[in-house]
Structure formats: structure tokens, C-alpha cells
Amino acid sequence: MFYFTYKCRLCGETFSKSGTSNEQAAMDAMILAALGREGDVRMVRVHPCNAKDFGVADLIGAKFTPDK
């Protein structure tokens, strides 16, 4: 599975928002995000760091994790 991974600029947390099992679909989603096209994968997302803080998280890649 390829998980789209983000890192928050404020708190530094790394997290995955969604994923796909198809390698080509993961690459296509990354390309569209880099070009600024609308879709499920975006270059930046709002991240709730804790109860009162919100940060901006950057897309840092599509990380492959084998199925268990």
C-alpha cells in the first residue's frame, strides 16, 4: 500500500492521510498534486496539532508499506 505522507510545519508530526494499493495511481496522484490540480491528494493540508493549535502540513511523499 502507498500512503500519502505529510509533515506538519508547526508540530513536526508526520502522518498519512490516505493511500492506494496501485503504484501508478500513487504516482499519478503525486504528479497532479505537484501540478496544483484538484484531487484527494493535496500539497498542503491543515493539521490539528492539539486541542488549540492548527498547523500546515506539507506532502512529503507516497510511502510504500507492504500489506500484512
More confident residue, 39 or 50: 50
Identify the pLDDT of residue 35.
94
Find residue 19's DSSP bridge partners: 3
Q: Tell me: the pLDDT tens digits for 6-35?
A: 999 999 999 998 889 999 999 999 999 999
pTM across the whole model: 0.87
Side chain identity at residue 65, one-letter code: T
Q: Tell me: the pLDDT tens digits for 54-64?
A: 999 999 999 99
Q: Where are the alpha helices (DSSP H) in the chain?
A: 23-34
